[in-house]
Structure 1
Amino acid sequence: MVNTAPAPVSNRPPSKVEGIKENSNFLLEPVATEILEDTTHFSEDAIQILKFHGSYQQDNRDNRVKGQEKDYQMMLRTRNPGGLIPPQLYLALDKLADEYGNHTLRVTTRQGFQLHGILKKNLKTAISTIVQNLGSTLGACGDINRNVMAPAAPFKNRPEYQYAWEYAQNVADLLSPQTGAYYEIWLDGEKAISAEEHPEVKAAREKNGTGTIVHDSVEPIYGTHYMPRKFKICVTVPGDNSVDLYTQDLTLVVITNKKGELQGFNVLAGGGLGRTHNKEETFARAADPIGYVTKEDVYDIVKAIVATQRDYGDRTNRRHARLKYLINDWGVEKFRTQVEEYFGKSVEPFKELPKFKYQDYLGWNEQGDGKLFLGISIDNGRVKDEGEFKLKTALRLIVEQFNLPIRLTPNHNLIFYEISPADKEAIQTILDQCGVIADPDQIPALTRYAMACPALPTCGLAITESERAIPGILERIRALLDKVGLQKEHFVVRMTGCPNGCARPYMAELGFVGSAPESYQIWLGGSPDQTRLARPIIEKLHHNDIESFLEPIFIYFKKFRKGKEKFGDFCDRVGFDAIREFSDTYTPGTPTSSGKSRHRVSLRDDVYSQLKETAEQQGKPMTELVHEALDKYFQSL
Structure 2
Amino acid sequence: MSEQKLSDNERLKRESNFLRGTIVEDLNDRITGGFTADNFQLIRFHGMYQQDDRDIRAERAKQKLEPLHNVMLRARMPGGVITPKQWLAIDKFAEEHSLYGSIRLTTRQTFQFHGVLKPDIKLMHQTLNKIGIDSIATAGDVNRNVLCTTNPVESELHQQAYDWAKKISEHLLPKTRAYAEIWLDGEKLESTDEEPILGSTYLPRKFKTTVVIPPQNDVDVHANDLNFVAIAEEGQLVGFNVLVGGGLAMTHGDKSTYPRKADDFGFVPLDKTLDVAAAVVTTQRDWGNRSNRKNAKTKYTLDRVGVDVFKAEVEKRAGLTFSPSRPYEFTERGDRIGWVEGIDGNHHLTLFIENGRLLDFPGKPLKTGAAEIAKIHKGDFRMTANQNLIVAGVPASDKDKIEKIARDHGLIDDGVSEQRKNAMACVSLPTCPLAMAEAERFLPEFVTDIEQLLEKHGLSKDDNIILRVTGCPNGCGRAMLAEVGLVGKAPGRYNLHLGGNRNGTRIPKMYRENITVEQILSELDCLVGRWAKERQAGEDFGDFTIRVGVIEPVRVSKRDFYA
Shorter-chain TM range is: over 0.9
Map 1:230-245; keep pairs closer than 5 Å: 230-245=206-221
Q: Which amino acid counterpart does residue 23 of structure 1 have in structure 2?
A: E
Report the equivalent of 1:98: 95
Q: Distance in 1 between matches of 2:139 and 2:419?
A: 30
Deviation at 1:331, TM superposition (A): 2.3
Report the equivalent of 1:512: 486
Structure 1 position 53 matched with structure 2 position 46? yes
Deviation at 1:132, TM superposition (A): 1.0
Map 1:483-562; keep pairs closer than 5 Å: 483-488=456-461, 489-562=463-536
Q: Distance in 1 between matches of 2:374 and 2:334?
A: 25
1:618–1:306 distance in 2 versus 1, CA, 3 Å = closer
Question: Quick one: which of 450, 457, 461 aligns to 2:434?
Answer: 461
Map 1:465-484; keep pairs closer than 5 Å: 465-484=438-457
Structure 1 position 368 matched with structure 2 position 343? yes
The answer on whether the counterparts of 1:446 and 1:491 sit within 8 Å (CA) in structure 2 is: yes
Q: Distance in 2 between matches of 1:10 and 1:271?
A: 25
Q: Distance in 2 between matches of 1:617 and 1:322?
A: 17
Q: Distance in 1 between matches of 2:287 and 2:146?
A: 22
* Larger Rg over CA atoms: 1
Structure 1 position 76 matched with structure 2 position 73? yes
Q: Which amino acid counterpart does residue 481 of structure 1 have in structure 2?
A: L
Structure 1 position 378 matched with structure 2 position 353? yes
Which stretch of structure 1 is more off in the superposition, 570-579 or 473-482? 570-579
Q: Distance in 1 between matches of 2:485 and 2:247?
A: 16
Q: Deviations over 1:460-492 (max 9, x none)?
A: 000010000111111111112222333533111
Question: Quick one: which of 166, 179, 182 aligns to 2:179?
Answer: 182
Q: Distance in 1 between matches of 2:428 and 2:471?
A: 5
Map 1:20-419; keep pairs closer than 5 Å: 20-38=12-30, 39-64=32-57, 65=59, 66-67=61-62, 68=64, 69-101=66-98, 102-155=100-153, 157=154, 159-189=156-186, 218-258=194-234, 260-419=235-394
SS of residue matched to 1:234: strand
SS of residue matched to 1:117: strand
SS of residue matched to 2:39: helix
Aligned length: 547
Q: Distance in 2 between matches of 1:279 and 1:250?
A: 25
Q: Distance in 2 between matches of 1:44 and 1:494?
A: 35
Q: Distance in 1 between matches of 2:171 and 2:340?
A: 33
| TM-score normalized by the length of structure 2 | 0.94
Q: Distance in 2 between matches of 1:354 and 1:485?
A: 31
SS of residue matched to 1:61: coil
1:154–1:564 distance in 2 versus 1, CA, 3 Å = closer
Q: Distance in 1 between matches of 2:561 and 2:146?
A: 38
Question: Quick one: which of 393, 401, 406 aligns to 1:431?
Answer: 406
Which stretch of structure 1 is more off in the superposition, 345-354 or 263-272? 345-354
Deviation at 1:160, TM superposition (A): 2.6
Report the equivalent of 1:13: 5
The answer on whether the counterparts of 2:353 and 2:411 sit within 8 Å (CA) in structure 1 is: no
- Structure 2, unpaired ranges of 5+: 554-559
Q: Distance in 2 between matches of 1:413 and 1:403?
A: 19
SS of residue matched to 1:268: strand
Q: Distance in 1 between matches of 2:233 and 2:551?
A: 46
Q: Distance in 2 between matches of 1:388 and 1:419?
A: 26
1:30–1:576 distance in 2 versus 1, CA, 3 Å = farther
Q: Distance in 1 between matches of 2:316 and 2:193?
A: 22
Which stretch of structure 1 is more off in the superposition, 413-422 or 376-385? 413-422
Q: Distance in 2 between matches of 1:13 and 1:492?
A: 42
Q: Which amino acid counterpart does residue 162 of structure 1 have in structure 2?
A: Q
Q: Deviations over 1:20-57 (max 9, x none)?
A: 11111111112122112213100131011100101000
The answer on whether the counterparts of 1:238 and 1:254 sit within 8 Å (CA) in structure 2 is: yes
Report the equivalent of 2:556: none
The answer on whether the counterparts of 2:330 and 2:503 sit within 8 Å (CA) in structure 1 is: no
Q: Distance in 2 between matches of 1:480 and 1:226?
A: 48
Deviation at 1:165, TM superposition (A): 0.4
The answer on whether the counterparts of 2:79 and 2:148 sit within 8 Å (CA) in structure 1 is: yes
SS of residue matched to 1:354: coil
Q: Distance in 2 between matches of 1:618 and 1:346?
A: 35
1:462–1:405 distance in 2 versus 1, CA, 3 Å = same
- Structure 1, unpaired ranges of 5+: 1-8, 192-215, 580-615, 620-637
Q: Which amino acid counterpart does residue 544 of structure 1 have in structure 2?
A: E
SS of residue matched to 2:148: coil
Which stretch of structure 1 is more off in the superposition, 448-457 or 159-168? 159-168
Q: Which amino acid counterpart does residue 34 of structure 1 have in structure 2?
A: D
The answer on whether the counterparts of 1:539 and 1:618 sit within 8 Å (CA) in structure 2 is: no
The answer on whether the counterparts of 2:496 and 2:520 sit within 8 Å (CA) in structure 1 is: no
Q: Which amino acid counterpart does residue 476 of structure 2 have in structure 1?
A: C
Q: Deviations over 1:488-547 (max 9, x none)?
A: 331111001000010100100111110111100011111112121111111111113222
1:240–1:52 distance in 2 versus 1, CA, 3 Å = same
Q: Distance in 1 between matches of 2:383 and 2:217?
A: 15
Q: Which amino acid counterpart does residue 534 of structure 2 have in structure 1?
A: F
Q: Which amino acid counterpart does residue 237 of structure 1 have in structure 2?
A: I
Superposed CA RMSD? 2.0
Identity in percent: 40
SS of residue matched to 1:475: helix
| TM-score normalized by the length of structure 1 | 0.83
After TM superposition, the runs of 4+ consecutive aligned structure 1 residues lying more than 6 A away are: 616-619
The answer on whether the counterparts of 2:337 and 2:352 sit within 8 Å (CA) in structure 1 is: yes
SS of residue matched to 1:576: coil
Deviation at 1:435, TM superposition (A): 2.4
Deviation at 1:578, TM superposition (A): 9.0
Q: Which amino acid counterpart does residue 422 of structure 2 have in structure 1?
A: Y
Q: Distance in 1 between matches of 2:360 and 2:539?
A: 38
The answer on whether the counterparts of 1:234 and 1:243 sit within 8 Å (CA) in structure 2 is: yes
Q: Which amino acid counterpart does residue 14 of structure 2 have in structure 1?
A: E
1:369–1:345 distance in 2 versus 1, CA, 3 Å = closer
Question: Quick one: which of 412, 415, 422 aligns to 1:449?
Answer: 422
Q: Deviations over 1:116-164 (max 9, x none)?
A: 1110121111111011111111111110000000012223x55332221
SS of residue matched to 1:32: helix
The answer on whether the counterparts of 2:47 and 2:74 sit within 8 Å (CA) in structure 1 is: yes
Deviation at 1:318, TM superposition (A): 0.4
Q: Distance in 2 between matches of 1:305 and 1:356?
A: 27
Q: Which amino acid counterpart does residue 114 of structure 1 have in structure 2?
A: Q
Deviation at 1:239, TM superposition (A): 1.5
Deviation at 1:166, TM superposition (A): 0.7
